[in-house]
Amino acid sequence: MPQTLSTREANLFRTVIRHYEDKQYKRGLKAAEQILKKNPKHGDTMSMKALIMNAQGKTEEAFALAKEALTIDMKSHICWHVYGILYRTNKNFDEAIKAYKFALKLEPDSHQIQRDLAILQVQMRDYQGYVQSRLTMLKARPQLRQNWTALAIAYHLEGNLQQAEKILTTYEKSVTTAPLKTDFENSEAVLYKNSIIAEMGEVERALEHLETDGKHNLDRLAVMELRARYLAQLGRKEEAAKAYRALLDRNPEHPDYYQCLIETLDMSKTDEAALKAVYDEYAEKFPRCDAARRLPLDFLTGDDFQKAAKSYLTLMFNKGVPSTFANLKHLYSNSFKKDTLPTLADEYLQEHKQNSDGKEQANGDSSKGEGAALFFLAQHYNYHMSRDLSRAMEYVERAIELDPKNTDFQMTKARIYKHQGETQKASEAMDYARTLDTRDRYINSKAAKYQLRNNENENALTTMGLFTRAETVGGPLADLIDMQCIWFLTEDGEAWQRRGNLGLALKRFHTIFNIFDIWQEDQFDFHSFSLRKGQIRAYIDMIRWQDQLREHPFYFRAALDAVNLYLDMHDKPQGSNGVNGVDGGKANGEDAAEKKKAAKKAKKEAQKAEREAAEKAAKQDPNKASAQKGKDAEDAKKKDDDPNGLKLASTTDPLGDAMKFLGPLLQFSPKNIDGQLAGFEVFIRRKKYLLALRCLNAALALDKDHPRVQEQSKTFQEAIGPILDSFAPKVQEIIKSEFTAFSS
């Protein structure tokens, strides 16, 4: 039977809530205890106490207490609400939704519960549920514009564009005073509505709406861009051209604008001179503009290309722009251009030489152009489409001779070593480049990366430590994890993998997996925040991006590494030798011993770092008690019970563990053949033949001539041949009809 509180304690209960909301957890707990002393079976207080404990990181105790509270008072919406919050903060969103729904049934008018439920629904992409919730919230408070916008968003995300627009219009009609010109919420709502109209394909109406309601919109760039696009779509070319010209005046470095302008000008795509004239106009108007000078190189051919390329290279070399090669290498798919560019760079060098031979140039900058041209040629011969590494080295040495302290030149030298397979020399050269500019983090990062490529994990971390924050508990690695430095974690993991330290390799890949979880979770606050800010289009963009979050190459690379590592673990369960797969069975004893030694050393070092960090934390200024105490809770939460990944490496089910990484890989990057190939290997070992076939068919569709696809077809054939009869008839039918690799 639920207990009821006296007035005094009811007041006390309210302060518990307030303390919780103000994050005054100790005070909150104290007040809760006071109530419980007299009313030990007060469910709501027990729940609040659980909530506070959860915030302090005592998750398990919190759940136990919240459950107990529920058994005492099943009819309390507070108990259910708290239960939902516990699930939510521990990221079990499905259970959280269930609990909120119970709470809401008991207290249908609770704005807070309804809001919490709505946020979870959109987080979980339950758009139908979200529409229902936002509708209820709108009915409760129709005077709030946010509620109308939110309902429109719900319809929009659900795919019901008409209804979304209708809701926005309905609100507009009920407004009696004209919104101020500076009313940002209104300004954005207008453009949001405009984007919905356009999404429905009603371009004409979108343009009309933009030119009336959007006329004085605060987001000028958006209005200009949308207007130009609509005009172009409607074939009103002259006006569209003018609109694109206005955009180019604003930002002449946006290639899309030139492209769109040209499309409105009714030019022949082969009339290179006319096309170039469009760009020339902007090159002249904006002397410092890069795009107008560079973009014509994409379409020009023959002598015209040569002429334009020469003038572009001259300009870039004279300025000493280091990115010249990077900005032009895409032209190499055309062999004429690939041959012309180095010739031009050579010519530049010759001319430059003549000039400086003729008269010693007065300004010390004379070597800048020569250095830039040599640098270009070094990169040219280092590039995979035009590779000649000894010539590359020749050119970079000449450049270095000219300017021995130039970091960029030294960096390229390191890169050439890398392509020669000389990882040790590459690492040394990059580290030397680093010493030339110790205040620049970019070169520092590159030095660390090259150390990792040379399996120097410890050195790399030391290098990184020159720029991480000294006071972070746990040292540079903890700071890099905190700051979500994916590239380092990936490279570090791959290096550990090469060194045979499976634990640390897995640890890094799992850390990356967790960072993606955090990134997904990061959107949570914005479901309500964006409504308050009124920035709706950006919010919708964010939602769409989040839906595809794990297609990011950052995820793909780490996940593929992890899957391949687990596959190796499955195939060679004896442990740390031969992880590369290549030297697998016949790994010589010496190598294996060395790897073991390295793993041991690494473990020792990690333990040492941990000890030091703990000491450091203990020694921190006691005067900063307030800062430190908050941290304790945080640290308790963060305490890692497997810092070296030993538990991860001792798994008895590597294939099962691989599934965690593989699932999102196949779901979000199905067109990346490496994922499909890895998927096949996992599924065939797990004897999930239909799923293996699924990967195989996807790989075939992507590249049927890929050597590994051929191999896998054979593997599949051999695997199922003898056992096909034992499959369920329906599965047999599928395999017979869908496994066509051999017949084709």
Partner 1 sequence: MDIRLLKPSDIPLIQHANLENLPENYFLKYYLYHALSWPQLSYVAVDAARPAKTPYDYPKIVGYVLAKMEEEPTDGVQHGHITSLSVMRTHRRLGIAEKLMRQSQQAMVETFGAQYVSLHVRVSNQAAIHLYRDTLGFKNEKTENKYYADGEDAYCMKLDLSFIREQIQEAEVDAGSSEKGA
Partner 2 sequence: TGGDVEDEVVNSTAKSAEDRKAAAALSKLDTHDDDESGRQMVDQDALNNVMEGVVVPKRDDEAPRKVVKVDPADVALLVDELELPKTKATELLRSHDGDAVKAMRAFITPSWKA
Q: Which residues inside 178-237 make contact with partner 2, applying CB under 8 A?
A: 179, 183, 185-186
CA distance 685 to 572: 13
The C-alpha atoms of residue 295 and residue 289 are separated, in whole angstroms, by 11
Out of 626, 652, 743, 744, point to the residue binding partner 2 (CB under 8 A): 626
Closer residue to partner 2 in complex, CB, 433/536 = 536
Binding mask 667-686 for partner 1 (x = CB under 8 A): -xx-xx--------------
Alpha carbon 216 to chain centroid, angstroms = 35
Say which entry of partner 1, partner 2, none residue 76 contacts (CB below 5 to 8 A, set by partner kind). Answer: none
- Candidates 238, 522, 634, 653: give the one binding partner 1 (CB under 8 A): 522
| Binder of partner 1 out of 221, 274, 625, 690 (CB under 8 A) | 221
Terminal Cα-to-Cα distance of the chain (whole angstroms): 73
Q: Which of 5, 144, 218, 315 binds partner 2 (CB under 8 A)?
A: 144
Contacting partner 1 within 550-569 (CB under 8 A): 551-554, 556
Quote the least distance from Cβ 388 to partner 1, whole Å: 20
Decide: is 734 part of the binding site for partner 2 (CB under 8 A). yes
What does 709 interact with, of partner 2, partner 1, none (CB < 5 to 8 A by kind)? none
SS (H, E, C) 667-679: HHCCCCHHHHHHH
Q: Are 186 and 154 in contact (CB under 8 A)?
A: no
Which residue lies nearer to partner 2 by CB, 23 or 387?
23
Residue 23 sits in the site that holds partner 2 (CB under 8 A)? yes
Rounded CA-CA distance 187/65 in Å is 48
Dist CA 284 CA 299 (whole Å)? 19
Q: Whole-angstrom Cα distance, residue 436 to residue 528? A: 48
Determine the size of the site formed for partner 1 (CB under 8 A): 75
Helix 237-250 / helix 255-264 crossing angle, nearest 10 deg: 160
How far, in Å, are 88, 486, 544, 692, 698 from residue 666 at the CA level?
27, 21, 19, 12, 10
Give the shortest CB-721-to-partner 2 separation in angstroms: 19
Distance between CA 364 and CA 695 in Å, rounded? 61
Give the one residue of 15, 24, 59, 89 binding partner 2; rule: CB under 8 A: 24
Tell me which of partner 2, partner 1, none is bound by residue 584, counting a contact when its beta carbon lies within the kind-specific cut-off of 5 to 8 angstroms.
none
Closer residue to partner 1, CB minimum distance, 219 or 610: 219
- Both tokens assigned to 167: 């809701």
The letter for the amino acid at 517 is: D
**Distance in Å, CB of 282 to partner 1, minimum:** 11
425 residue type, one letter: K
Q: How many CB atoms lie within 10 A of CB 567?
A: 18
Two structure tokens written together for 543: 């939602």
Among 21, 303, 357, 471, binds partner 1 (CB under 8 A): 471
Q: Which two tokens stand for residue 352?
A: 């430059």
Q: Which of 299, 432, 487, 513 binds partner 1 (CB under 8 A)?
A: 487
Which of 246, 274, 614, 690: binder of partner 2 (CB under 8 A)? 690
Count of residues engaged in binding partner 2, rule: CB under 8 A: 70
Q: Work out whether 630 is an interface residue with partner 2 (CB under 8 A).
A: yes
Six token digits for residue 15: 């302060």
For residue 249, state whether it binds partner 2 (rule: CB under 8 A): no
Q: What is the 3-state secondary structure (H, E, C) of 74-104?
A: CCCHHHHHHHHHHHHHCCCHHHHHHHHHHHH
**Nearest-approach distance from CB 174 to partner 2, in angstroms:** 5
AA identity, residue 198 = A
Residue 681 corresponds to which amino acid?
A: E
Of 273, 279, 277, 239, residue with least CA distance to 259: 279
User: Which of these ranges, 63-71, 323-331, 524-532, 562-570, lies near partner 2 under the rule CB under 8 A?
Assistant: 524-532
Per-residue binding letters, 237-266, with partner 1 (x by CB under 8 A): --------xx--xxx-xxxx----------
Contacts of 372 (CB under 8 A, 6+ apart): 316, 317, 318, 319, 320, 321, 322, 324
CA-based max dimension of the chain: 103
Question: Binding pattern to partner 1, positions 151-190, x when CB under 8 A?
Answer: -------------------------------x-x------
Q: Pick one of partner 1, partner 2, none as the site partner of residue 496 (Cβ within 5 to 8 A by kind).
A: none
Q: Contacting partner 1 (CB under 8 A), which of 386, 410, 523, 577? A: 523
- From the list partner 1, partner 2, none, partner contacted by residue 652 (C-beta under 5 to 8 A by kind): none
- CA distance to 383, 408, 416, 446, per residue, from 426 (Å): 16, 14, 8, 11
Nearest-approach distance from CB 101 to partner 1, in angstroms: 28
Q: Which is nearer to partner 2, 547 or 634 (CB)?
A: 634
Choose from partner 1, partner 2, none: what does 326 bind? Cβ within 5-8 Å by kind: partner 1
Half-sphere exposure of 581 (CA within 13 A, CB side): 10
Environment class of 385 (CB within 10 Å of its CB; exposed 0-12, middle 13-18, buried 19+): exposed
Q: Report if residue 18 touches partner 1, rule: CB under 8 A.
A: no
The candidate with the shortest Cα–Cα distance to 327, out of 344, 300, 309, is 309
Tell me which of 5, 17, 106, 321 binds partner 1, using CB under 8 A: 321
Regarding 738 and contact with partner 2 (CB under 8 A), the answer is: yes
Q: How far apart are CA 521 and CA 257, in angstroms?
A: 36
> Which residue of 326, 593, 636, 723 would you call a contact of partner 1, by CB under 8 A?
326
Task: Tell me: does residue 442 bind partner 1 (CB under 8 A).
Answer: yes
Query: Quick check: 744 binds partner 2 (CB under 8 A)?
Result: no
Q: Which does 334 bind (CB under 5 to 8 A by kind): partner 1, partner 2, none?
A: none
Q: Which of 47, 367, 445, 577 binds partner 1 (CB under 8 A)?
A: 445
Q: How far is the CB of 56 from partner 2 (least distance, A)?
A: 9
Q: Which is nearer to partner 1, 245 or 603 (CB)?
A: 245
Q: Is 470 in the site for partner 1 (CB under 8 A)?
A: yes
Give the span between the Cα atoms of 452 and 279, in whole angstroms. 44
- Residue 690's binding partner among partner 2, partner 1, none (Cβ under 5 to 8 angstroms by kind) is partner 2
Helix (H) or strand (E) holding 323: none
CB 501 within 8 A of CB 576: yes
Candidates 286-294, 306-314, 359-367, 626-634; binding stretch for partner 1 (CB under 8 A): 286-294
717 interacts with partner 2 by CB under 8 A = no
Distance of CA 493 to the CA centre of its chain: 18
Structural element, H or E, at residue 488 = helix 486-498
In the window 113-142, what residues touch partner 2 (CB under 8 A)? 115, 131-132, 135, 138-139, 142
Q: Strand, helix or coil at 24? A: coil
How many residues can be counted in the chain? 744
Applying CB under 8 A, the span of 314-322, 558-566, 568-576, 685-693 interacting with partner 2 comes to 685-693
CA distances, 33 to each of 86, 451, 737 (Å) = 20, 56, 68
Q: Give the number of other CB atoms < 10 A from CB of residue 29.
A: 18
Indicate which single residue of 315, 542, 646, 724 sits in contact with partner 1 (rule: CB under 8 A): 542
The answer to the question of residue 335 lying near partner 1 (CB under 8 A) is no
Binder of residue 698, out of partner 1, partner 2, none (CB less than 5 to 8 A by kind) = partner 2
CA count, 13 A, side-chain hemisphere, 143: 0
Distance CA 244, CA 522 (A): 37
Residues that bind partner 2 (CB under 8 A): 22-27, 30, 111, 115, 131-132, 135, 138-139, 142-145, 151, 160, 163, 167, 170-171, 173-177, 179, 183, 185-186, 469, 471, 524-526, 528-529, 532, 622, 625-631, 633-634, 670-671, 688-691, 693-694, 697-698, 701-702, 728, 730-731, 733-734, 737-738
